[in-house]
Amino acid sequence: MEQLTQKLGSGEMVIQELPTPQLTEGMVLVKNHFSLISAGTEGSTVKAARKSLIGKAKERPQQVRQVLDTLKRQGIVQTYRAVMKKLDAYSPLGYSSAGEVIAVADDVTDFKVGDKVACAGAGYANHAEIVSVPVNLCVKLHDDADLSLACYNTLGSIALQGVRQADVRLGETCAVIGLGLIGQLACHLLKASGVNVVGIDVSEGAVKTAREHCADLAITRSTTGITNQILDYTDGRGVDCVIIAAATTSLDPINFAGTICRRKGRVVVLGAVPTGFNREPDYYKKELELKMSCSYGPGRYDINYEEKGIDYPSAYVRWTEKRNMEAFQHLLYTKKIDLSYMTTHNFKFEDAPKAYEIVINHSEPFLGIVLEYDTTKEHKVTQSFFTPDLSPVSDINIGFIGAGSYAQGNLLPYLPPREEAGRVCVMTNSGTTSKRVAEKFHFSLCTSDENEIITNKCINTVFVATRHDSHAKYVAAALKAGKNVYVEKPLCLTLDELVNIRSICEENGRHVMIGFNRRFSPFAQKIKKNFGDGKMSMLYRINAGAIPAESWIQDPTIGGGRIIGEVCHFIDFMTYICGSIPVKVSASVLDDSQGLNDTVNIIVEFENGSTGVVAYYANGSKSLPKEYFEVYYSGKTAVITDFKKCEIYGRKVDTLKKTNQDKGQKEMMRQYFASLKSGKALIPMKEIFAVTLATFAVIKSIQESGQPVKF
């Protein structure tokens, strides 16, 4: 299937053939008939991509700070890779479309093949022939719905949420500042609610359009005496509410809203405007209420709602983002709002780049720009091939499932040359990422179907670097297919999954390699050489930093939480250093209102009598190095500081320093491929299973108020 993409680095925009997006749980596959270009949001994205690196940096100062933080912590190499990954990636465009369902996931019951639907969501409702959309970002339409208008779905629901936040009543007056697409949509919705509408914009053309179609009073911002005109229109009171739908860096919209608003009135920020308003004379003396409107409404940015499909009870949350979409589509279908004039341009999908030139250059007046797709075209799940020969090129032939930022920065660059290890196929949940990774790292093909990797007889080695909740599924499938398996941590999220993987390994005699890279660092090797195995005392302090509760990493069913998802690294490191498996843990956690369990002290006891303390803290300063490790044994002490410095204290101090962090990924990959040739497990399965059990035991100890847990 074809999709419109753009590179953030060069600004290059192209329609290219990509794998059909994945159809995973809770998703529907939709063949687009129409999609809408959001001139404001997408125009800003395209303009930013076409700027120089300095121009991009000026536009995104927060991301520049993140780059500098990464540079300080990880060094030049990893920072460069992270930045180039962003700049070289194919970024999808578009987030509002309408079309026809062509497939549904097994757990989806609300939709069926053939349904007409409207879709929403950045990364989902893209400008593409086929899109995969979660059920809560997709609404069913009547069979005779006008899909060329239904594709206004996302912007319509954004405008509707702004109107809901305004909370205006029948007969009241609301001003809308900014009469672009969303502003005019808001005007229509207000009028349909029996509200008097005042439209304001800097463009005479936008004002004229609003005056003709959706505003009772429409005025250009530069009009002399504009404030008096609005006061006269409202019998001297001022408007009851102002919705700001403009996009600007100017403070004028927020301050002017205060000027024209009545006492005790409301100002709703719907567009991208600064909110550093003047306290005097309006906001303070009038006691104005300032409100923000968040995208499509309740459910937005909630992983449980959008990704898992868990709805909010309508008795308690009447209007969610999906219900806003449904309400907007109902108004369209019943013709209570008429948007037919809004589509000023209609382009065939293959001419999409021409449409964006109008948006960027403002070469002619425009309002709504719709892309139309060839609905007669036959579609099927496809792969993008890069070389015609898919036969094995060596004894080791690789399939890669998942290739996000970590894999692109720390695994893929360290694959052996193609003549030593064939690179057959890569799969990610995004066709744009799959194709870019295949191009950059020279895989023969990319796919959206894991079976193309699992069942491919050319492939004998599978890498799994997806989100944590899918690790066990892919590992089990690859093992059953007789493949060598490398999986990023954690191995799995539940005891049942661990038992299943262990039984498969025992049945077919295969083993799994897990990405416990720190044991392969030069510092670990130096300590091991000096200390050997033995009864040791260890301390591992991790200044982990806070991660928001809504992050997928914190979700116990997706990321497993930070103990299962990350603490496994540190328990494994101590396991390697002392040369013995963990057998008992106890843990005490700093109580927090969200129950994240990410500030915790863990005592680990090992089979050979060694003990270790993992002090994992999410409440510290970012200026402190993240990782600090100490080990004491037989009159010697070793200290590692953030994997940049290692000191061994004996009769004298032996110091090893690195300019850049070296957590062992490169050496791990080298040794892993060597182990494939020898057939010997690089990390003993006994250690992998014991470390995984230890993380489960930590959770249980926390649940049991710090009681020791043996396993």
Q: Are strands 645-649 and 636-641 parallel, antiparallel or unpaired?
A: antiparallel
pLDDT at 83: 67
Residue 392 has pLDDT above 60, yes or no: no
Q: Are residues 139 and 187 in the same domain?
A: no
Q: Running DSSP on this structure, what letter comes out for residue 641?
A: E
pLDDT given for residue 509 in this prediction: 87
Residue 700 lies in a domain: yes
Picking from 131-135, 261-265, 591-595, which range would have the lowest pLDDT averaged per residue? 591-595
288 and 246 assigned to the same domain: yes
The average pLDDT across 32-41 equals 92
Higher per-residue confidence, 407 vs 389: 407
H or E segment and range at residue 63: helix 61-74
Mean pLDDT check: name the lowest of 7-21, 209-223, 233-247, 481-495.
7-21
Task: Please state, as a whole number, how many other Cβ atoms lie within 10 Å of the Cβ of residue 357.
Answer: 12
The pair of structure tokens assigned to 133 is 């959309």
Residue 508 sits in the same domain as residue 526: no
Task: Give dist(CA 411, CA 409) in Å, integer.
Answer: 6
Round to the nearest angstrom and report the end-to-end CA distance of the chain: 50
How far is the C-alpha of 329 from the C-alpha of 146, rounded, in Å?
10
Q: Can you give the pLDDT at residue 9?
A: 73
Q: Supply the pLDDT for residue 432.
A: 87
- Residue where a domain terminates, one of 514, 546, 578: 514
CA 692 – CA 564 distance, rounded (Å): 8
pLDDT of 387 above 60: no
Q: How many domains does the chain have?
A: 4
Whether the predicted pLDDT of 640 surpasses 70: yes
Give the rounded percent of residues in the chain with a pLDDT score beyond 70.
Answer: 93
Residue whose tokens read 């005592």: 603
- 525 with 647, same domain? yes
Whether 311 maps to a domain, the answer reads no
Same domain, yes or no: 537 and 665: yes
Contact status, residue 164 vs residue 152, Cβ threshold 8 Å: no
Same domain, 494 and 550: no
Distance, in Å, from the CA atom of 302 to the CA atom of 294, rounded to the nearest integer, reads 12
Statement: residue 537 has pLDDT above 80: yes
Which residue carries 């404001």 as its tokens? 40
Average pLDDT, the chain: 93
**What SS3 class is residue 591?**
coil
Residue type, 259: T
Within a 13 Å sphere around the CA of 411, how many CA atoms are in the beta-carbon half? 27
Mean pLDDT along residues 527-532? 96
Buried b (16+ CB within 10 A) or exposed e, 395-411: ebbbbbbbbbeebbbbb
pLDDT tens digits, 84-95: 666 677 889 999
pLDDT reported for residue 419: 86
pLDDT, average across residues 323-335: 98
Q: Please give the order of strands across the beta sheet that includes 2-7.
A: 13-17, 2-7, 90-92
**pLDDT score, position 593:** 79
Q: Which of 281-285, 380-384, 555-559 has the lowest mean pLDDT?
A: 380-384
Q: Other CB atoms closer than 10 Å to residue 483's CB: what's the count?
A: 21
- Are residues 428 and 499 both part of a single domain? yes
Q: What would the two tokens of residue 344 be?
A: 């000023």
Which of 514, 538, 569 is the C-terminal boundary of a domain? 514
Same domain, 408 and 461: yes
Taking the CA atoms of the chain, what radius of gyration do you get in angstroms? 29
Both 559 and 622 in one domain: the answer is yes
Residues 126 and 181 in one domain: no
- Chain centroid offset of residue 349 CA: 26
pLDDT greater than 90 at residue 279: yes
My answer on whether 435 and 554 are in the same domain is no
Which burial class, exposed, middle or buried, applies to 263 when counting CB atoms under 10 A from its CB (0-12, 13-18, 19+)?
exposed
Whether the pLDDT of residue 692 is over 90: the answer is: yes
The DSSP symbol for 21 reads P
pLDDT at 528 over 80: yes
Residue 602 lies in a domain: yes
Going by their DSSP bridges, the two strands 96-104 and 116-120 should be labelled as: antiparallel
Assess contact for 116 and 142: CB atoms under 8 A.
Answer: yes
CATH number where 424 lies: 3.40.50.720
- Tokens 């191995």 map to which residue? 491
Inside any domain, residue 409: yes
pLDDT in tens, 204-223: 999 999 999 999 999 999 99
Question: Residue 11 has what pLDDT?
Answer: 78
Confidence of residue 72 (pLDDT cuts 50, 70, 90): low
Any idea what the CATH number is for the domain that residue 574 is in?
3.30.360.10
Q: What is the reported pLDDT for 70?
A: 67
Parallel, antiparallel or unpaired: strands 343-348 and 289-292: unpaired
pLDDT of residue 624: 94
Long-range contacts of 313-319 (CB under 8 A, 24+ apart): 319/161, 319/164
- Among residues 228, 262, 292, which one ends one of the domains? 292
Domain extent for 635 = 517-710
Alpha-carbon span 186 to 215, nearest angstrom: 10
Q: Tell me, yes or no, whether 23 lies in a domain.
A: yes
Instruction: Determine, yes or no, domain membership for 332.
Output: no
Q: Is residue 348 predicted with pLDDT exceeding 80?
A: yes
Any idea what the CATH number is for the domain that residue 130 is in?
Answer: 3.90.180.10
CA 564 to CA 693: how far, in whole Å? 10
Helix (H, G, I), strand (E, B), or coil: what is residue 265?
A: strand
Position 390 in a domain:
no
Is position 501 within any domain? yes
Judge if 354 and 401 occupy the same domain: no
Cis bond upstream, residue 21 (ω within 30)? no
